[in-house]
Amino acid sequence: MAKLDQIIDDFAYLDEWEDRYRYVIELGKALPELPEDKRTSENKVQGCASQVWLVSHVAEDGADPVLTFEGDSDAHIVRGLVAIVLAAYSGKPASEIAQTDAIEIFNRIGLVEHLSAQRANGLRSMVKRIRDEARLQAAA
């Protein structure tokens, strides 16, 4: 899976929206497929037009647990968005996740302005779910 810094750098070199669009699809194709047994209603993200599943894993590591995430979608573009969200959050301490707004990252790389209203709402739902999980774990 691509690292967030690499994704941001790659977007800086892509001037055309169509090239960025293709890159998002490539990121989605590189995302490991979520096993069928994890595609449950409890892992499904509400508020997404496409089907999106997120699974969180917590490594109890003192007062600030580290969270990792798995995710998938049935739509190519959304799967790429999931890959970027996971690059932003997975493997980080709960306190850092709670403070990081991935929507700002999407704004910085120029993606939010090109997303349909439904995809933008779905993206916000993914980010909210991950940050809420991090806040819950940080408070535990």
- The Cβ of residue 116 has, within 10 Å, a number of other Cβ atoms equal to 10
Query: Coil, strand or helix: which one is 80?
Result: helix
Report residue 125 CA to chain centroid gap: 10
The residue from 4, 48, 78, 82 that is catalytic is 48
CA pair distance 93, 75, nearest whole angstrom: 29
- How far is the CA of 129 from the CAs of 44, 85, 122, in angstroms? 10, 11, 11
| Residue 10 buriedness (CB in 10 A; 0-12 / 13-18 / 19+) | middle
62 carries an active-site annotation: no
- Catalytic positions, please? 48
